[in-house]
């Protein structure tokens, strides 16, 4: 497995984890922001250096991050529809 694939798996697991945490607590935006920033910073700073992610691979990771934020937006909309 390439380092990029490991990073993507962990990234999407962090999205799922954020969804689970935010469904338990009502601080949805707070938890999702904490989840995204901390986990993904850890992935890029620590694992990026450990697994020697190249510059090209880093550029390929930008697209899934955008997809992740779109998923986050959809989850926010669903959350507020469920509340009201």
* CA angle centred on 22, ends 16 and 24, rounded to 5°: 110
**pTM score of the predicted model:** 0.34
Q: For residue range 7-26, what is the model confidence (pLDDT) as tens digits?
A: 667 767 776 776 666 666 66
Q: How far is CA 55 from the centre of its chain?
A: 20
Q: For residue range 24-73, what is the model confidence (pLDDT) as tens digits?
A: 666 666 666 666 666 666 666 665 555 555 555 555 666 666 666 666 67
């Amino acid at each position: 497995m390439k380092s990029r694939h490991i990073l993507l798996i962990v990234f999407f697991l962090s999205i799922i984890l954020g969804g689970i945490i935010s469904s338990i607590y009502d601080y949805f935006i707070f938890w999702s922001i904490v989840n995204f920033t901390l986990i993904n910073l850890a992935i890029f700073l620590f694992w990026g250096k450990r697994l020697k992610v190249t510059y090209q691979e880093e550029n390929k990771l930008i697209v899934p991050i955008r997809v992740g934020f779109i998923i986050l937006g959809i989850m926010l909309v669903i959350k507020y529809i469920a509340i009201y």
